[in-house]
Amino acid sequence: MRNLILVWQPRWQIAQDFEEIASIITASAPDIEVFVVNNETTAFTQCKKAAKKPTLIVSLAALWRPVPRRGKIYQGSFVSKTDQKSRLSAVGIPVPKGIVLEPNLELDPDEWGEFVIVKPLDAMKAHSGLGVNLVRTVKLHYRPPKDYPEEHPGHHGPMLAEQFIDTGEWPTYYRVFTLFGEPLHAIEHRTLNRRPPLDSADDEIAKAAINVSQGFIALKFVDDTDLLELARNIYPAMAEVPFHACDIVRDIHTKKLYVIELNPGQNAMRISSEHWKEKRKLLGGRDAMIKQFGAWEKAAKVLIERTRAEAE
């Protein structure tokens, strides 16, 4: 007999998500007892009971209040985008090149392409699209922090030049949500703000909406073999984190896929998070997201396998 502790994070998930997974596990694996625990409660009684048998702990967020007394732990973690790219590259996953802007930096267009994206090195500051701009590579130059407006991320931290992956005039990316590398759902995000032609003047290029978070978006489910296979192959890059929200782009010219980031923290799962409540309606709601690939059945299967193999 083995135990599995599933930890959920209020506001980003709901207990029902994990209770539904737990019920599937209980029905098909009588050798596993499942405990569903709130990350913001102490859960001493549940953790004490679970400690009587070999245990596996799985949490989308970094563990906070639950204090498992034994067992192997998989949990979410903050990992900088720079470290994510290094780890992805190390296992052969294609990522856009990037370099921190410094004085006297010059990039070769033959190596980097005609355009680069300038963005804050801090991924959280780039999330809203503020400070994310498309620049001709030959026009790229370093600006000291004092030269940026007070409200600009460049005033407060380093800026990054990143290889521009052209996803088309309607900038698009894909998010594939995986558990131990198994895709649970996959969604296309496409901006409704049209990007200006790439032969436009520099000032028009600088205004280009290239970050999908810059403005309204269209959402739809996708089931693309190459996309899902890449998402599966990402898992070894950060195997200590169970859930990956893989952000992937496709070059419209070469069709090559590149991984932008993994979002290994607590805010990755959108099936029931409060902040994605309205956007879920564009996809048909929570049930539709679960139904796309049979998310809970897939989650239960991989969790059973992991618990039987790794509970300690």
For 286, the enclosing helix (H) or strand (E) is: helix 286-291
What is the pLDDT, as a whole number, of residue 189? 94
For residue 55, the Cα-to-chain-centroid distance in whole angstroms is 27
- Where exactly are the structural domains of the chain? 2-76+293-310, 81-94+165-264, 97-164
What is the pLDDT, as a whole number, of residue 132? 87
pLDDT tens per residue, range 80-118: 888 999 999 999 999 999 999 999 999 999 999 999 999
What is the pLDDT, as a whole number, of residue 55? 96
Q: Is pLDDT above 80 for 128?
A: no
What is the pLDDT, as a whole number, of residue 131? 81
**Cα(117)–Cα(126) distance, integer angstroms:** 11
Tokens of 39: 């990350």
pLDDT tens per residue, range 19-61: 999 999 999 999 999 999 999 988 878 888 888 999 999 999 9
Tokens of 169: 């005039």
What is the pLDDT, as a whole number, of residue 266? 65
Q: Please give the order of strands across the beta sheet that includes 172-179.
A: 217-221, 182-191, 172-179, 243-250, 257-261
Q: Is pLDDT above 80 for 216?
A: no
Q: Contact 112/162 with Cβ under 8 angstroms? A: no
What is the pLDDT, as a whole number, of residue 9? 92
Task: Give 63's DSSP letter.
Answer: P
Distance (Å) of CA 303 to CA 54, 161, 241: 14, 39, 14
User: Which residue's structure tokens are 């239960």?
Assistant: 300
- Model confidence at 211, in pLDDT bands (50, 70, 90)? confident
May I ask the CATH architecture of the domain 2-76+293-310? Answer: 3-Layer(aba) Sandwich (3.40)
- Model confidence at 207, in pLDDT bands (50, 70, 90)? confident
CATH class of 81-94+165-264: alpha beta
pLDDT tens per residue, range 141-191: 999 999 988 888 888 889 999 999 999 999 999 999 999 999 999 999 998
Q: What is the pTM of this model?
A: 0.92
What is the pLDDT, as a whole number, of residue 265? 77
pLDDT tens per residue, range 243-285: 999 999 999 999 999 999 999 976 678 999 998 999 999 999 9
Q: Contact 36/8 with Cβ under 8 angstroms? A: yes
**Cα(77)–Cα(67) distance, integer angstroms:** 17
Is the pLDDT higher at 49 or at 301?
301
What is the pLDDT, as a whole number, of residue 10? 92
**Cα(191)–Cα(163) distance, integer angstroms:** 20
What is the pLDDT, as a whole number, of residue 111? 96
